[in-house]
Structure 1
Amino acid sequence: MTGSVCVTAADEERGYWILAPCGVCQERLFAHGPDVEVAVPEPADPRRWRALRLRDVQPHWWVRVFPDEVWPFEAGQPG
């Protein structure tokens, strides 16, 4: 299973925050398929995270126009 997490230091008082992957990171991760899990911050506390499938983080990605059973990348090959 492929996964991703991005952590940043907010400041010394607030500690570290979890960030959802940016658009460029999402494009790169999509080469592994739509079910890659990524960390996203909990709405009430950005120091805590939960895992979402990439397809649920970015439901409007351009590949969504293809049927679910067709994927433009072969497993294990770069996109």
Structure 2
Amino acid sequence: MARLILKKGSNINHKDSKGMSPLHICVKYGHINIAKFLIENKADIDIKDNEGQTPIFYAIIYKHYDVIKHIYL
């Protein structure tokens, strides 16, 4: 599904009303494979939400350390 959305020209760094990008949301919920796909397709890993938080913040807060290990290291 993510491939199809990007293929149609969607902005990979689009933000919702809270300023969260798809990468923020994937990392928050521990969806490693989708997060990897987004990063491979040039998602901004340093993008900030309306609270000034980056996706890695959510990985830490929600204890998705595997996301950090597999994506950020």
Give the TM-score normalised by the residue count of structure 1. Answer: 0.32
Q: Which has the higher contact order (CA 8 A, sep 6+)?
A: 2
**Structure ID, larger Rg:** 1
Greater fraction of residues in helix:
2
Give the TM-score normalised by the residue count of structure 2. Answer: 0.33
Greater fraction of residues in strand:
1
